[in-house]
Amino acid sequence: MYSKVFRICIEPDCGGEFYITPKDQAYLLGRGLALPRRCYSCRQKNKAEAERQLAAQRLGTEATGTENDPNKWHDVWADNTPKPTKE
């Protein structure tokens, strides 16, 4: 059987430590998958970034994360005339 594996995350910003349990090892290796090299939070962050970039490609926009931000202020009315500025 497998023993608990200690790993260090390879993400430059993280470098966090994590363990891979024997149950997880058996699951991954039994399906021919490699053991993870990044911690769970870094994997989730990278997955979200990849999904955001894919969605931006599908929409034909740049992946800046602000395209659909409801808190972003717009400086024009719907008919593209400038809004009056607040003073």
> How many other β-carbons are positioned within 10 Å of the β-carbon of residue 39?
20
Q: How far apart are CA 61 and CA 69, in angstroms?
A: 14
Q: Considering the domain boundaries, does residue 77 fall inside one?
A: no
Q: Considering the domain boundaries, does residue 9 fall inside one?
A: yes
Q: How far apart are CA 72 and CA 58, in angstroms?
A: 22
Under-50 pLDDT residues of the chain: none
Domain boundaries, position 24: 5-59
Q: Considering the domain boundaries, does residue 73 fall inside one?
A: no
Q: Quickly tell me which residue has 């430590």 as its tokens.
A: 17
pLDDT digits (tens, 9 = 90+) for 65-77: 555 555 555 555 5
Q: Considering the domain boundaries, does residue 68 fall inside one?
A: no
How many domains are contained in the chain?
1
